[in-house]
Amino acid sequence: MTNAPDSENERVFAALPRYDNDAMTRLRAVLASKAQQEGILDVAYRTVDTPVGSLLLAATEQGLVKIAYAVQDHTAVLQQLSDTISPRVLLAPARLDEAARQIDEYFAGRRTRFDLPLDWRLSRGFRREVLSHLPQIGYGSTQSYAQVALASGSPRAVRAVGTACATNPLPLIVPCHRVVRSDGTAGQYVGGKDAKNILLTLEAAA
């Protein structure tokens, strides 16, 4: 009798249709499209492979809301998005096609500025002020944390600038990698020191 539940489960699973990877991809696309049409796709996400590892991209209808490095744990990031924005989070690559294209162009050396709608809801207050300044740091250029603090209107808030960069929900697009220490060394980065050095080297070589 103890084997009966397992046998029953085996019969149930054996009766389920089997899908190959292509079929599952098509099914996910249909579900994502239907969710979009019905207005219930609150957060769409996808991943892209880059020279700095796999990046998770997530977007609301307002724009790109999150970029996360693999070291940040993509599963944990998706859970955070579910908790802070909406539980209706779905793998729906189409909404992020343009973001993925521009990121590919950046790493190929064909793009120096991003032109994407952004959803800033994950950053507020002074942190938002800091992040709003960062796109003004030109491609291939850097500023110190002290310079960014001054430009953001609070010259003594150097530590707060560091915190804003460390919690930047949109790294790469909002280029906190261009903020370095006063002695010119790279300093910390949300994607790790290696990723920051790769980005700075890429831009310096242009």
Neighbours of 185 (CB within 10 A): 8
* Separation of alpha carbons 104 and 152, rounded Å: 30
Q: For Cα atoms 44, 133, 121, give the angle at the middle one, nearest 5 degrees.
A: 30
* Separation of alpha carbons 173 and 132, rounded Å: 11
Q: Provide the greatest CA pair distance for the chain.
A: 75
- SS3 call for 16: coil
Catalytic residues: 176
- SS3 call for 189: coil
Separation of first and last alpha carbons in the chain? 71
* Separation of alpha carbons 27 and 35, rounded Å: 12
* Separation of alpha carbons 94 and 39, rounded Å: 15
* Separation of alpha carbons 192 and 46, rounded Å: 21
